[in-house]
């Protein structure tokens, strides 16, 4: 990737570095060479120190170490299921959106997603009536060979105690 002033920050679920993989941590393809690894490693270190990305320095250094060792790199290359890091998808997307090549230093695209207000949202599925669902539930017959079953079932279906509705006797 070409040097640009701002990283693309995505809020992703926190995954362990082993699960995320060194390729995605450094933002490189599986076919990246040593110079690309070093360049992306240095760039990620700068971003992490400026707190532009939420990746710990230890994870960035770990990714560089893994990709520098041939045996470890082969292990993560085979086990990595990130589709973004195969077949040069990252590089293709970077070129398509103006992040690489041609000396461009800022992205040439704007996100198409718009946040929609959920205040007036109602799901397409019909929500059943609670009373109708409760009426449709058929309770099984209580077995006669287990005498305690009736009292246990009564305790199970008893309404829960509301701690705020209890009246305490005066002290």
Q: Is 8 helix (H, G, I), strand (E, B) or coil?
A: coil
Confidence at residue 104, expressed as pLDDT on a 0 to 100 scale: 42
Give the Cα separation of 146 and 123 in Å (integer): 44
Do 97 and 59 meet the contact criterion of CB atoms below 8 Å apart?
no
In this model, does residue 51 exceed pLDDT 70?
A: yes
Taking only the tens place, the pLDDT of each residue in 91-119 is: 676 677 666 554 444 555 565 667 778 88
Tokens of 87: 């077949």
CA angle 109, 54, 64 (to 5 degrees): 95
User: Do residues 17 and 62 touch, judged by C-beta distance below 8 A?
Assistant: yes
pTM: 0.44
| Predicted confidence (pLDDT) per residue in 54-92, tens digit | 888 898 999 999 888 888 887 877 776 565 555 566 667
Q: Give the DSSP letter of residue 148.
A: T
d(CA 158, CA 149) in angstroms, rounded, equals 14
In angstroms, rounded to a whole number, what is the distance separating the alpha carbons of residues 110 and 43? 23
Most confident of 3-17, 62-76, 90-104, 155-169: 62-76
State both tokens at 46. 């700068």
Distance between CA atoms of residues 72 and 65, nearest Å: 9
- Contact yes or no for 2/99 (Cβ under 8 A): yes
Gap between the Cα atoms of 133 and 144, Å rounded = 28
Question: Which of 116, 156, 107, 125 shows the shortest CA–CA distance to 2?
Answer: 107
For the chain, domains (ranges, CATH) are 21-96 (1.10.287)
């Amino acid at each position: 990737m070409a040097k640009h002033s701002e990283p693309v920050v995505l809020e992703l679920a926190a995954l362990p570095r082993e699960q995320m993989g060194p390729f995605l941590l450094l933002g490189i393809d599986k076919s990246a060479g040593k110079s690309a690894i070093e360049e992306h490693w240095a760039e990620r270190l700068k971003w992490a120190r400026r707190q532009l990305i939420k990746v710990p320095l230890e994870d960035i250094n770990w990714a560089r170490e893994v990709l520098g060792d041939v045996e470890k790199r082969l292990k993560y290359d085979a086990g990595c299921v990130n589709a973004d890091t195969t077949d040069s998808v990252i590089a293709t997307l970077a070129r398509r959106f103006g992040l690489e090549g041609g000396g461009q230093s800022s992205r040439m695209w704007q996100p198409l997603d718009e946040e929609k207000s959920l205040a007036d949202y109602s799901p397409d599925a019909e929500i059943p009536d609670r009373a109708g669902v409760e009426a449709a539930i058929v309770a099984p017959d209580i077995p006669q060979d287990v005498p305690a079953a009736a009292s246990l079932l009564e305790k199970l279906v008893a309404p829960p105690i509301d701690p705020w509705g209890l009246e305490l006797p005066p002290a």
